[in-house]
Chains A and B, each alone.
Chain A
Amino acid sequence: MEQYYFHSVTLDKIKCKGCTNCIKYCPTEAIRVRNGKAVIIKERCIDCGVCIRICPYHAKKAVTDPLDSIKNFSYKIALPAPTLYGQFGPGFSRERIVLALKRFGFDYVFEVARAAEIVTNATKSFMSNEEIKKPVISSACPAVVRFIQIRFPNLIDNLLRIESPMEVAAALSRQEVNEKYGIPLEEIGVFFISPCAAKVTSVKAPYENRVSNVDGVLSIKDIFLPLLDIMKKQGKITTEPFSLSSAIGVSWAMTGGESSAFKDGRRIAVHGIHNVNDILEEAVKGNLDSIDFIEALACPEGCLGGPLVVENPFIAKVNLNNEIEKIKMNQAHSVPQKHKDVKELEWKSTVEYRPILKLDDDMMKALEKMNMIDQITESFPGLDCGACGAPSCRALAEDIVRENAKETDCIFKLREKVNSIAHQLHQIDTTGSMNDDNQ
């Protein structure tokens, strides 16, 4: 099966010191250190960005499209994630930021928060159906979806099969521009302004049988200074609030935002991939059957804590809540979004189980390999020290059985062997014998 393994999360080999910090935090054990440098196992990586956050040498980074790439299209649409509104501080309203995006070079701005409101309405409609499998798990975080594909395939059917706000925004904006201004579809470039590496991957290597509506993903990190510069030069603006985003839509950037829409239901909002793992373990055991909705986000504080943000997420939260208050006060100006039929926004196909953790296609061989892993693990000291470059002694044993490593990668094993050789040499020297008996 052809697999396209593009990943946004990549390593800068020059900065990597082979320190082994990242191998322990990766939720899918996708990193090894080999020959003094970190290596990411592509099939296992879910682009969650934990390693980017953890690396003390900033050697892990997310690949995004360069700002210049918008020039490839004659008509450029910007899709700012609501996280962008939290990056700049008081005095930098949504209106100011949207105007700055236009100054930067975009012809049209479609706020992803608007699309988030549309998705929320469609989700409410979807959840009112008695027959759906509960708990419903949000599919907005691509890292969580990939995590479920690999580690929790039994929860694939629980995923909310509705397109993400980014994809909805891309489709709607393209359509709007084409219909309102007559711009031919091929000339329109749609760019998501992102806090998130996993979103880049979802555009360039989408889930099975899909094509993304988005043309490119720009990182908030890259566009922050140019926008700040423009806004400082622009000065304060006096304009009627024209932003169309809703309070709910903007709050999607924070943990609890998406699920706050379901006030009458039992909902869980969880952030941080390791916490998500714990909650999904409970779901798989059947302990969460009384829960209606799970909002699961890989990053701490939700998208505000993504690997491509500039502002500290706790400060960004204050900024964002400020904007949300303004929206609530200006209810008169807000235009409720057209309701879209759930059918239009539903996934056309499901995501598939990715059995990359399988030892062998042949069950007999898989059983033998598992026994070998057990045996080899027993012979290791059990410190999980990481010196071999694998996250645990058992992981190294598995690597050995998969023929990706050798026993003497373990420095304790190597030391044992060296001691044994030294002892044999000593025997030859003192007794003239190569035997090990002390007589």
Chain B
Amino acid sequence: MASVVVRDYIIPANDFTIAGEASSNVRKILSQLGVAPNIVKRTSIAMYEAEINAVIHGNGGRAHVEIDENKIVITISDQGPGIEDLELAMQEGYSTAPDSIREMGFGAGMGLSNMKKNSDILDIKTAVNEGTTVMITVFFK
């Protein structure tokens, strides 16, 4: 019996009512595995930000989650427009979200920096018109 738990989720494009379901699900799994609450919180914030980005900017995507005894690795990828200037995007307050999104309360420009603050390793691969893949690693100790 393997000691790795794997989950795959589809992140729908532009559906805000179920955006966040994947990170909610992962939160429950981590609680059942006995991960400390503060680490569960960091993981779910980082994953939620990545999920919302895929919804708002990426036109939907996929999440692949692997949990072993030491860490959780979350890979969220989309086939969206990609990030033109990654360094700029990482700045707090910078956002390319359209007005319709901002009206809903999203797109404050804090997503990527929140992701970075709440993950131990953050790896972003992106190219214009080629989509974006975000890999978040959080250690349990």
Contact = CB atoms under 8 A, between A and B. Distances in A.
B125 interface: no
A368 B1 contact: yes
Interface stretch (A30-38, A182-190, A298-306, A357-365): A357-365
Contacts of B24: 281, 285
Interface string B100-139: 0000010000000000000000000000000000000000
Contact of B34 (A286, A359, A368, A374): A359
Nearest to B34: A358
Interface string A343-374: 00000000001010111110110111011101
Interface string A263-300: 00000000000000000010011110000000000000
Given A364-B69, A367-B4, A370-B5, A286 B33 contact: no
A359 B27 CA distance: 14
A372 B3 CA distance: 10
A408 interface: no
Interface stretch (B35-43, B55-63, B76-84, B85-93): B35-43
A367 B68 contact: yes
B37 A367 contact: no
A154 B37 CA distance: 6
Given A371-B2, A372-B1, A358 B33 contact: yes
Contacts of A287: 105
Contact of A361 (B3, B5, B34): B34
Interface string A363-401: 110111011101000000000000000000000000000
B34 A360 contact: yes
A357 B31 CA distance: 7
B45 interface: yes
Contact of A358 (B20, B23, B31, B38): B31
A153 to B, nearest CB: 4
A426 B17 CA distance: 53
A14 B91 CA distance: 65
Nearest to B42: A154
Interface residues of A, number: 23
Given A367-B68, A367-B69, A285 B33 contact: no
A401 B20 CA distance: 28
A287 B23 CA distance: 14
B37 A363 contact: no
Given A284-B27, A358-B32, A154 B41 contact: yes
Given A285-B23, A371-B5, A372-B1, A366 B34 contact: yes
Contacts of B1: 368, 371-372
Contacts of A284: 27, 41, 44
Contacts of B37: 153-154, 353
B29 interface: yes
Contacts of B40: 154
Contact of B67 (A154, A358, A367, A374): A367
B44 A363 contact: no
Nearest to A368: B1
B17 to A, nearest CB: 12
B139 to A, nearest CB: 12
Interface in A81-115: none
Given A154-B41, A281-B24, A367 B3 contact: yes
A370 B31 contact: no
Nearest to B29: A370
A281 B29 CA distance: 15
Interface string B1-36: 111110000000000000010011001010111100
Contacts of B67: 367
Contact of B32 (A281, A364, A366): A366
B44 A285 contact: yes
Contacts of A364: 3, 69
Contact of A367 (B5, B31, B105): B5
A151 B1 CA distance: 28
9 contacts: A154-B38, A359-B33, A363-B34, A366-B33, A367-B2, A367-B33, A368-B2, A368-B3, A370-B33
Interface of B: 1-5, 20, 23-24, 27, 29, 31-34, 37-38, 40-41, 44-45, 48, 67-69, 105, 140
Interface of A: 153-154, 281, 284-287, 353, 355, 357-361, 363-364, 366-368, 370-372, 374
Given A359-B33, A370-B5, A371-B3, 12 more contacts: A285-B20, A355-B34, A357-B32, A359-B32, A360-B34, A361-B34, A363-B140, A364-B3, A366-B34, A367-B33, A372-B1, A374-B5
